[in-house]
C-alpha cells in the first residue's frame, strides 16, 4: 500500500515510482492532507489502512 495526502509535496516523484514498480500495489490518496496524514487526520488514515492490514 502506498498511502499519502494529495498535498504531499515531499513525495511527488516517489509516489509514481513506487506504485509502478511494486507488483499489485494499492495506491491511496487522502484528500486535503500532506506528508504526514497519520498526524493530520488519524481517523482518515486508519480508515484507509485497517482494511488493507486485515486483508
Global confidence as pTM? 0.81
CB 43 within 8 A of CB 19: no
pLDDT for 11: 74
Cβ–Cβ contacts within 10 Å for residue 45, how many?
A: 19
pLDDT for 13: 79
Reported as a single tens digit per residue, the pLDDT across 4-52 is 999 998 877 788 899 999 999 999 999 999 999 999 999 999 999 999 9
CB 29 within 8 A of CB 5: yes
Q: Alpha helices of the chain — where are they, by DSSP H?
A: 12-21, 37-40, 42-54
Measured CA to CA, the distance from residue 55 to residue 47 in angstroms comes to 13
- Structural domain boundaries, residue 15: 2-54
The structural domain count of the chain equals 1
Q: Residue 3 pLDDT more than 80?
A: yes
Amino acid at each position: 500500500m502506498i498511502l499519502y495526502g494529495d498535498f504531499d509535496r515531499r513525495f511527488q516523484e516517489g509516489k509514481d515510482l513506487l506504485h509502478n514498480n511494486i507488483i499489485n500495489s494499492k495506491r491511496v490518496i487522502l484528500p486535503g492532507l500532506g506528508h504526514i496524514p497519520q498526524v493530520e487526520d488519524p481517523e482518515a488514515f486508519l480508515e484507509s489502512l485497517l482494511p488493507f492490514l486485515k486483508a
